[in-house]
Structure 1
Amino acid sequence: MRRTIKIFAIAGLATLATSQGATQTADDAMANTAAQLDLPSTFTVFGERDPNIRKPTAIVNGEIVTRTDVDHRLNLFLAANSAAQISDEERQRLRMQIVRNLIDETLQIQEARANDIQIPSADVDATFAQVAQRSNASPDQFSDFLRTQGSSARSMKRQIQGELAWRRLLRRYVNPTVGVSDAEVQAIVERLEASRGQTEYRVAEIYLPARPDNEAEMLDGARRILEQIQSGGSFQAYARQFSQASTAAVGGDLGWLQPAQLPPELAAVVTQMPVGGVSQPIPIPGGFSIIALIDQRQILVGNPRDAVLSLTQITLTFPPGTTRAVAEPQIEALSSATQAGGGCGVANTIAVDLGGEIVQNDGVRLGDLPEVLQRNIGNLQVGEATAPFGSLTDGVRVLVLCGRDDPPASAEPDADVIMARLEQERADRRARRYLRDLRRDAVIEYR
């Protein structure tokens, strides 16, 4: 059977971001913000050199960030975001952003170390193993895969170390200082009750500021970002890199909003977008925004996409080079067997008879499935199956619905959830200020 390894982001891993609330902010999200940061005009040199020679790109409080470090992290990002085919200009912008991320990561590890927070190698290895497992590989297989992509296990483990160190530092010194009053929570509860039944949207944004003298340049940059996203790049990862809104730290996520809470230019687009859609660059006062509609729902009314499904998946795999004509009889047999009834009770027998593989999952949220499967499975009764889908290279699949737990028809505001969200938002803001202070006090040399 053909093995495919992909990198899946876990808690911000395998992206250009660090831990939530501690990622790139407005003063360093775009490559051309070097001037705002008062960086040297020759921020770093990416000339043609021997890649086997480890030469420093930056020295952060005496600790070296090498060109090899940058190369490995760049290739890790490209592998994780399916963005291997990018222009030289885009690659250069990504490199500069990665240098900034590595500087921040170094500062975070140094600050944790200064406060006697050490990350045992066993913790790093355990998290690395989790990333490998999500990518359907063992740690050794995943390490080999990273090498084939021009990266390394060392690079990912360094990122893991930085994230764990920063998270534990914030948990010790920042999170305990955040307070939310019961009155604040109650005010939000009352606003939600007053808006019951109205439609709200979960929106993510990439915001690029523009002035009259650089408007055309910024619009061109927004279009290039959109092209990368449409080619398979992660909206969240590009928001963390380039958005100059405060939400860059959380991948551009604005949370759940009503149209009246958005600028009119954005509200007019959001209400016309399909779930999962990404807009063209939208001119707004002060710049341009690219928005993604993550989901929509009615306030305090059960969201059908919150239904939790129990699914059995049957997969048929084919040897490389198998033609459609050769595979068609087996696919038709799978369709006939699963549509004949019997539900999940006969799924294992069908898989054995057809030489397929079977996987069961009892906790799948309907809204987490691809849009086309949401529409298909949303209309199924328990025991029914989807039509076969997939490809001859990646396998042809059928999903059998074994059970479904629908959300309640209406819901009440959860004060504990509201308080936790407010606390997290305030902790994120303080974490960003903390990181800005570390940057301001750091001694950084560029080579």
Structure 2
Amino acid sequence: MRFFSICSVGCILFLANLTAYAQQQTTREGLTSDEVVARSGVPASAVAAVVNDAVVTTYDVRQRMRLMLISARGQIPPEAFPQLQAQALQDLVEEQLKIQETDQFEVTVPEREVDQELTVMAAQSNISLSQLLESLKQTGISEQSLRQQVRTDIAWPQLVQGRYQDRVRVSEDEVETTLERMREDANKEQFLLSEVCIPVDNPSQAQQYYQGGLQLIEQMRRGVPFAIVAQQFSACTTAAVGGDMGWVRAGELPPELDTAVRELPVGSVTNPIPSEGAFMILAIRDKREAVVPGEPSFTLAYAGADASMGGNAARAALEKIKTAEICSGSNLRIDLGEGVGYSYLENVTLGQINEKFRPFIEDLSRGDQSAVIEDGGYYHSAYVCDKDEGLGLPSRDALENRIYSRQLSRIGRQYLRDLERESMVDIREENLQPPNG
């Protein structure tokens, strides 16, 4: 089973000393951490941290570690468990800060949205929501623990966007400059990349962040897959999909990253590279020549339904592709139903599409959906998110959205850092037992 747990912003486990949170000595109500613990009713020995007027228990830490281990399919080596524990605690501290801030601004997440997100997690593991919840129960994980994590992951971006979207300005010049650079490099290689992002919140500690990045690379050398490291330790939004950036065109990355991926062979992992206020670690999974100029390429939202569900039910499910937000490249927002799989296919040429389906795709334009085709025991349909007539470049809208999301994410990281500085956070390391295998 695979859970796509969203790593909290800045959750690089050993890059920051948890006891180094710069905190007030009392809450806004004037309570000390001991008074908060006494009021909570939780035994002092079971408190892992106090975050303003809330406590994080050692039970919470163990629950989060179990979720991480399931997400990693047990591929985290035992020697990394102390680091995993540290990350789990830091993740929970940041989660509490986010919960308190979203509560203050009355950001609510309907339970149906949490259910939708859990349904997506289940679908990506080819199981139903009920099977997912039963699996949690069998492994000793509280359903509420996962629901709280998902709820916070939905609410926090909504708060950041609601408060700061007016500060984000993506100019036409910025989009055009990026597109022009990509046009110039259109006949050069494309790279299939994955990323781990390590935000450098305090420039004076840059060397510590760099060393932390090297420790992550060392874990990969010992056999921990890059995708697992990204899921658990990256602060980028791609952490949810194992750091997968998809195919990136030459010139699309900042120059310092672009140079590195051009020079390294397939299968390489870069050292931490300083870029835009963070250290970036990139994995070069594959390289390919650019799309031949003049050959159309498509960005498709594809869905396939098992023929056993029947033609009418399959067609009804596949009709939802247009409104399921697959084109955003993010998690599905509308459940297509059990037995229906989906994919986001970026910049594929007709030659890369099964010849049986090419006639149904080649004449479509942006916003068109193909007919439903039955073949090989499945019903198939594809929706054209975008179409490029020659260079394989993303649309202006898609590129603007990428730049916007990157800028908003940077603001969100700073927002959280500001909350940390203004808050009382008391880490009680003496209550944390060394994790065992």
TM-score with structure 1 setting the length? 0.61
Select 1:75's aligned residue among 66, 72, 79. Answer: 66
Residue 91 of structure 1 and its aligned partner are, at CA, apart by 0.9
Q: Secondary structure at the match of 2:191?
A: strand
Q: Where do residues 223-242 of structure 1 align in structure 2 (5 Å cutoff)?
A: 223-230=218-225, 234-240=228-234
Pairing 1:40-439 to 2, within 5 Å after superposition? 55-83=46-74, 86-87=77-78, 89-206=79-196, 219=214, 222-230=217-225, 234-240=228-234, 256-258=249-251, 261-262=255-256, 266-267=260-261, 270=264, 272-273=265-266, 277=267, 279=268, 282=271, 290-293=281-284, 296=287, 298=290, 301=293, 364=343, 378=352, 381-382=355-356, 410-411=390-391, 414-439=395-420
* Alpha-carbon distance, 1:161 to partner: 1.6
Q: State the alpha-carbon separation in 1 of the partners of residues 83 and 269 from structure 2.
A: 21
Distance 2:272 2:12 in 1: 19
Q: Secondary structure at the match of 1:159?
A: helix
Matched to 1:78, the amino acid is L
Mapped to 2, the partners of 1:169 and 1:222 lie a distance apart of 33
Change in 2 beyond 3 A, CA 1:54/1:211? closer
Q: How far apart, CA to CA, are the structure 2 residues paired with 1:68 and 1:314?
A: 45
Partner of residue 362, structure 2 = none
Q: In the alignment, is the contact (CA less than 8 A) between 1:7 and 1:80 conserved in 2?
A: yes
Shift of 1:179: 1.2
Equivalent-residue separation in structure 2 for 1:66 and 1:265 (angstroms) = 45
CA distance in 2, matches of 1:167, 1:36: 27
Larger Rg: 1
Other structure's SS at 1:427 match: helix
Deviations 1:274-323 (A, max 9, x none): xxx4x3564879999753235656278568795777768799xxxxxxxx
Match of 2:335 in 1: none
Residue 373 of structure 2 is matched in structure 1 by none
Query: Measured at CA, do residues 133 and 31 of structure 1 come closer, stay the same or move farther in structure 2, by a change above 3 Å?
Result: same
Query: Structure 2, unaligned stretches of length 5 or more?
Result: 24-42, 309-337, 358-375, 429-437
What is the root-mean-square deviation of aligned Cα atoms in Å? 4.8
Task: Specify the code of the residue in structure 2 equivalent to 1:94.
Answer: L
**What per-residue deviation string (whole Å, max 9, x for no partner) do you get for residues 255-289 of structure 1?**
6444993469833654x20xxx4x35648799997
Q: CA deviation at 1:437?
A: 0.4
1:347-406 CA-partner distances (Å, limit 9, x unpaired): xxxxxxxxxxx9676x6556799xxxxxxx9585428xxxxxxxxxxxxxx788978999
Letter in 1 for 2:261: A
Q: Which amino acid aligns with 1:166?
A: W
Change (3 A) 1:236 1:192: same
Does 422-431 or 142-151 show the bigger shift? 142-151
CA distance in 2, matches of 1:414, 1:214: 35
**Equivalent residues in 2 for 1:1-20, closer than 5 Å:** 6-9=1-4, 14-15=5-6, 17-18=7-8
The alignment status of 1:31 with 2:19, answered yes or no, reads no
The residue type paired with residue 420 of structure 2 is: R
For 1:248 and 1:280, the matched residues in 2 are separated by: 16
Deviation for aligned residue 1:141? 3.0
Counterparts of 1:116 and 1:212, CA distance in 2: 39
Structure 2 distance, partners of 1:193, 1:108, is 41
Letter in 2 for 1:147: K
Give the drift of 1:428: 1.1
Given the superposition, is the C-alpha separation of residues 312 and 184 from structure 1 closer, same or farther in structure 2, using an over 3 Å criterion?
closer
Q: What SS does the corresponding residue of 2:94 show, helix, strand or coil? A: helix
Q: Name the SS of the counterpart of 1:31 in structure 2.
A: coil
Please say if residues 146 and 152 of structure 1, whose CA atoms lie closer than 8 Å, have aligned partners that are also in contact.
yes
Return the alpha-carbon distance in structure 2 between the equivalents of residues 295 and 427 of structure 1: 29
Displacement of 1:220 in angstroms is 5.7
Q: Which moved more, 1:161-170 or 1:189-198?
A: 189-198
**Is the 8 Å Cα contact of residues 240 and 250 (structure 1) preserved in structure 2?**
no
The equivalent of 2:421 in structure 1 is 440
Structure 2 CA distance for partners of 1:63 and 1:32, relative to 1, 3 Å: same
Contact 1:119 1:165 in 2 (8 A): yes
**Could you say if the C-alpha distance between residues 414 and 265 of structure 1 is closer, same or farther in structure 2, counting changes exceeding 3 Å?**
closer
Q: In the aligned structure 2, how far is the partner of 1:360 from the partner of 1:120?
A: 25
**Cα 1:140/1:220, change in 2 over 3 Å:** closer
Q: Identity over the aligned pairs, expressed in percent?
A: 21
Q: CA deviation at 1:197?
A: 1.9
Give the structure, 1 or 2, with the largest relative contact order (CA under 8 Å, sep 6 or more): 2
State the shift of 1:155 in Å. Answer: 0.9
Q: CA deviation at 1:186?
A: 2.3
TM-score, length of structure 2 as denominator length: 0.63
Distance 1:416 1:111 in 2: 31
